[in-house]
Structure 1
Amino acid sequence: MDDDFRSVTDIAALELGAAPRDDHTDRVELVTLMRFATGDGVLAFGSRAAAWRVCTLLGTQLKTPGRVAVIGPRARPRWQVRVAEATGVRIRLGLLDRRRGGRRVQGLPPEVIARLDQDAAAIARAGFSAAGTVHLTGPVPRLQITCPTLAVALAVAGALRRVGAVAGVRHHERTGAEQVTVAGIDAVATALAAIGAPRAAQRMRVRWDDRCRSRAYSATRELTAANTGRAQHAAATQVAAVRAALAVLGDRVPDHLAAIAHLRLQHPQAGMGALGKLASPPLSKDTVAGRLRRLIALAERHTTQPDTTQTS
């Protein structure tokens, strides 16, 4: 499938799944990914490439299999990876704290946190692969990673900041999850490029630019339509006022005002400039507008002043 038909998130997942790594980086990535697994060792991905990446890491690092299953509707499938012997895998990766009765660590293992500066890209990459999405809706692009605990969110946000992307953490009230967010086109592009998805960063910029141009075009069309509507309403109002003025004044209308009034009635949607060109001799639009105003004002004076031509 061409990139034009994939989301930026899917393009990034394909890049991250195919890029070569070294053994140490693979280990850090697997540790971080497993921290996103459920209690029974299940990971769910929106990308098949990310799911198979986890299976590859499990095989190369721990010689442990992972079973992949497709879940959800066909239109929006998700790939579920079930890790065999999940407890043993967590022990070997340092995700269970033996000093506290084998409880899961709240964030990432101490040995990973100690090398946060060196392994920032691997941690951020794993966080994005596990639960990251790129959104191109709203006022600015956003990269969001939904984390299982606050400690994990802080570690992922810290990793993103170390690769040059400003990241914030907030608590999601509805789901109870902690969400890491990178906002702004430059910040999101920096994050994607740093974790190994430069093609996704480029596609995001192109699509965002296209979206901005489309929104600007739509706004221009709406403004033009609104201006046209106002102009048509003003013209209709003026035509009605001119017709009423002629009815009030009758044969008392000065010839130069009568001429422009009849042009206005004959061409109800024409602008002042167009009416001026139709006049004989041609008039400027300011002259046309002034004569129409004087006609309407003359009729208003006749309706408000008493008629002194009749005697009691």
Structure 2
Amino acid sequence: MPSTPDVKNELVRVVTPQVGERMSELATVLRLAGGLHTISGRIALEAELHTPPIVQRVRKDLAELYGVRSDAKQMPAASTRPGAPQFVVRVLDGETLARQLGLLDQKRRPIRGLPNRLTTGSPAELAAIWRGAFLARGTVTPPGRSASLEILCPTNEAAMALVGAAGRLGVQAKSREIRGQHKVLIRDGETIGQMLGIMGAVEAQAKWDELRKARETRNTANRLVNFDDANLRRSAQASVSACARVERALEILGDEVPDHLKYAGELRLTHRDASLDELGTKADPPLTKDAIAGRIRRLLALADKSAEQRGIPGTEANLPDELDSM
């Protein structure tokens, strides 16, 4: 099954020959994984990343697209928790780069969401935004009850920008604040597979869809089995109830029971597990389902009326206590 590292390892190998796609991906990575800091009066740009291949991809794009030299280092093990970013990429004199990327506005203030030019780009550039977002702060949970694709965002505005980009790609995503963190979520299994393919994780998409369909098939089979079991329980309950009431009816009426009703009642007791159709075929001469049901119904009604007149328990007095729990 595709895991988060599997998806990131595939995405980091995606070739993006178009400059616009590379710029969109890079700007999104730096926005979601980075921050702007003032060091000795200069604005430095930092990004905390998870794996060396992602670090190499970011540094390569910085050098080839913007001619910017960056530094990279691994964070001390004691300062990181499991699953957290392990590496830092830093551009010390990063103000010009931040302006070019759209991470600073004209008043030198960090933007709250994503650069406007990103979310109004072409479908390929929108896909690159999502690829960059996943490389920076994405996770995927395998198909099952809690299947999800999540992007952790620094602000609600950034989350809403990603939701808008997904919408323009024909994918429904939602923004949620969970325990103080802003997340973009895709919970539908089929839609997650679609987004994996859009980002460029084609192999992960194929594995995801295969696993999802296998789970759906198994769940459908389980539902059918449970449905059959429920039908069997209901049939058994109805049979027990009918036989108990018929026994009590024959007991109440005794010799007063009409022969044709007595015959139907005894037929019911002789073939306790048979359906009404089967009872009809076993009668001599054969009876229809409606005819046998009608006779049993009249037998019970006659017995209940007699019991009421005599002040004794009716046909339901014989129902077993455990019947409701069957």
TM range (shorter): 0.7 to 0.9
Do the aligned partners of residues 273 and 44 (structure 1) sit closer, same or farther apart at CA in structure 2, a change above 3 Å counting?
farther
Cα deviation per residue 1:4-31 (whole Å; 9 max; x = unaligned)? x334x55432321222234844454233
After TM superposition, list the pairs within 5 Å mapping 1:130-145 onto structure 2: 130-134=136-140, 136=143, 143-145=149-151
Structure 1 letter corresponding to 2:32:
F
Cα deviation per residue 1:33-68 (whole Å; 9 max; x = unaligned)? 1222365856365xxxxx233221244234532427
After TM superposition, list the pairs within 5 Å mapping 1:134-283 onto structure 2: 134=140, 136=143, 143-162=149-168, 164-168=169-173, 170-172=175-177, 174-177=179-182, 179-182=183-186, 188-283=192-287
| Alpha carbons 2:193, 2:205 under 8 Å: kept | yes
Distance 1:209 1:193 in 2: 16
| Corresponding position of 2:288 | 284
Structure 2: tracts of 5 or more residues without a match: 38-45, 64-68, 312-326
Structure 2 letter corresponding to 1:56:
Q
After TM superposition, list the pairs within 5 Å mapping 1:21-100 onto structure 2: 21-22=16-17, 24=19, 25-37=21-33, 41=46, 43=48, 45=50, 51-60=51-60, 61=63, 62-67=69-74, 78=83, 80-85=85-90, 87-88=92-93, 92-94=97-99, 97=104
Cα deviation per residue 1:238-266 (whole Å; 9 max; x = unaligned)? 11111111111112233333333223223
Do the aligned partners of residues 277 and 89 (structure 1) sit closer, same or farther apart at CA in structure 2, a change above 3 Å counting?
farther
Distance 1:247 1:154 in 2: 74
Residue 299 in structure 1 maps to residue 294 in structure 2: no
Structure 1: tracts of 5 or more residues without a match: 46-50, 308-312
Distance 2:278 2:246 in 1: 17
| Corresponding position of 1:310 | none
Do the aligned partners of residues 87 and 280 (structure 1) sit closer, same or farther apart at CA in structure 2, a change above 3 Å counting?
farther
SS of match in other structure, 1:6: coil
Q: Which region of structure 1 is more displaced relative to structure 2, 87-96 or 10-19?
A: 87-96
RMSD, aligned CA: 3.7
Distance 2:53 2:92 in 1: 20
Q: Which region of structure 1 is more displaced relative to structure 2, 200-209 or 295-304?
A: 200-209
Following TM superposition, the consecutive aligned residue runs of length 4 or more in structure 1 with deviations greater than 6 angstroms are 68-71
SS of match in other structure, 1:116: coil
TM-score, length-scaled by structure 2: 0.70
Cα deviation per residue 1:133-183 (whole Å; 9 max; x = unaligned)? 4564569x7644221123322443344344x23455534153241x33456
| Alpha carbons 2:71, 2:91 under 8 Å: kept | no
Residue 107 in structure 1 maps to residue 113 in structure 2: yes
Do the aligned partners of residues 181 and 260 (structure 1) sit closer, same or farther apart at CA in structure 2, a change above 3 Å counting?
same
